[in-house]
Structure 1
Amino acid sequence: MTTTKSDFAYETIKTRILDGVLEPGIDVSEESLQRELALSRTPIREACQRLSKEGFIQIYPSKGMIVADITTDLIRDIYQMRLLNEPFIVVQACRLNKSRDWLEEIGEQLRTPPRGLSEAELRDWYIGLDRRLHDGFLQNCRNRFLQSTMQMVLDHNHRIRVKVSRPYSDEDRSITEHLAIIEAFMARDETRLEQEAKAHIEASRAITFAYFM
C-alpha cells in the first residue's frame, strides 16, 4: 500500500497525541506542522480533518485546533466498548490455530523486564507491552469490523494508559492481570480467559476514573 503525504502526516501527528507529546488542550498549529514535517498545507489539513473525525483533535472554524481532552464521557465510552468486545475478541483469537510465540514472548518480557531501567523507562516498557498484547489479540480476531472499530478504541485507550499507568505501584496490578490472561489463553481455557479479560478491564476502569475524577 502506498503511503501518501497525508497518511504520513496523520500517523505522525496521531503518534504525538497518543504518546502525550501533544497533550490534551494544547494548540495544534498548521504552520508549525508544515515546517516540522516539511509538508504543504493540504496534507496537514487532510490529516487534521481525519483526526478530528476520530475524536483526537477539535477544530474551531476560523479560530484554530486543539488536542481533544480526555473527558469522563470519553473514558466511559472507551470502557463500555472494551467490556463489550475485548472478552469476545480474546476468546475468538484463542480458537485460531495460529502460532503463539508472540504471546509467549510478551509473557516472558512482562516477567523479566530489562535491568537498569529508570522508573520512567520501566513505565514506558510496560505501556509498550500492554499495547502489543491488546493489538496482538485484535489482529488475531477475524472480524474486520471489530478490528476497525476497536483499533480506534485502543488508540484512545493508549492516551489514557500514558496518563494513568503506574505498573510498579500496588494499586496497578495490570502486569499480574496480563499474565493471568496469557496463562488462560495458552491453556485454551475460554471460560477463564473471558473472566480474566473482564476483570482486567474493570480494574483498569476503576483506576482510570479514580485518576480523572
Structure 2
Amino acid sequence: MSSASDLAYETIRGRILSGALAPMTQLKEEELAEMCGLSRTPVRDALRRLEAEMLVRRTDTQRTFVPDWSADEVEEIFLLRGLLESYAAARAARLATAEEIAMLQAFNDEIERAIEGPTFDTETFVANNRSFHNLILTIANSERLTKMRSMIVEQGILHRTARRYDKKGLRRSHADHEELLMAFKARDEAWASAIITGHNRRAFRVTAITGA
C-alpha cells in the first residue's frame, strides 16, 4: 500500500469518524482527491479499504456514500464492541502495569475536565475516551483482538452519543472508568469485564433513546 493511499485512507476515515463527512454524504472521487491533495488513484484504493471496513457503502449504481446505520446495526455495533472490550478489560486487569494504569488515569482526568468545564468540551471528551479504550486494548496485548476491534465502526456513533449525554450521564461514564481502574489495581478480571459490559450497554441505551 503506497503512502499516498495511506494518506487518503487516514484523511477520509478521520473525516467520517469525526462527523465532518455526515451520514448519507455521497463520496465523489474527484472531490475527495481535491480534499486530500492527491490524485484519484490513491483515493480509489482508500475507498476500497473503507468499504471493506464498512465505513463506506457502495450502491448498485456504484455510487459511494457514508452509511447511515439502522437501529439494528447500531445495536449490533454496541453489542460486538461490548463483547470484545469486556474480554480486553479482563486481560488488561491481569496485565496492566502501574505506569499503564497511571496513563489511563491521566486520560480519565482529562475526561473529567471536559465534563466539568464551563461548557461540555465534546472534542476533548471523545479524544480522551478513545485514548482510554484504545490503551486498554494495547494493554490486553492481543493482536487478534485489536484487529477484530478495529472492524467495529462505532466512533462516529460514539461522537454523536457523547453530545446526547446529559451531565449526569457524562459523570456516570467517568465514574465507570474510575471503577474500572479500581478493578485493574485489584487484578480482578471478572469485575473489570462486568464494568465494561455495563458501560457499553448504557452508551447504547443513550443512543437508542435519543436516536443515533
Task: Give the TM-score range, shorter chain.
Answer: 0.7 to 0.9
Shift of 1:116: 6.0
Q: Pick from 137, 158, 161 the counterpart of residue 161 of structure 1.
A: 158
RMSD over aligned Cα atoms: 2.2
Cα distance in 1 for residues equivalent to 2:33 and 2:175: 43
Partner of 1:15: 14
* 8 A contact 1:92–1:141 mirrored in 2: yes
Aligned residue for 2:179, secondary structure, equals helix
Partner of 1:83: 82
Pairs within 5 Å for 1:1-213: 4-60=3-59, 62-98=61-97, 99-100=99-100, 101-113=102-114, 118-119=119-120, 122-153=121-152, 156-166=153-163, 167-172=165-170, 173-212=172-211
Shift of 1:107: 3.0
Deviates more, 1:140-149 or 1:185-194: 185-194
Aligned residue for 2:64, secondary structure, equals strand
Cα distance in 2 for residues equivalent to 1:136 and 1:171: 23
Cα distance in 1 for residues equivalent to 2:19 and 2:69: 12
Number of residue pairs the alignment of both structures matches:
208
Percent identical residues? 27
Shift of 1:115: 8.1
Cα distance in 1 for residues equivalent to 2:208 and 2:116: 32
Deviation by residue 1:69-118 (Cα, 9 ceiling, x = unmatched): 12223212212212322111111012125332311212332344498664
Unaligned runs of 5+ in 2: none
Cα distance in 1 for residues equivalent to 2:104 and 2:185: 8
The structure where helix makes up a greater share of residues is 2
Cα distance in 2 for residues equivalent to 1:177 and 1:106: 13
Deviation by residue 1:29-55 (Cα, 9 ceiling, x = unmatched): 111111222211110101011111111
Amino acid at match of 1:107: N
* 8 A contact 1:110–1:179 mirrored in 2: no
Q: Report the CA distance shift for 1:18/1:57 in structure 2 as closer, same or farther (over 3 A).
A: same
TM-score, reference length from structure 1: 0.87
Unaligned runs of 5+ in 1: none
TM-score, reference length from structure 2: 0.88
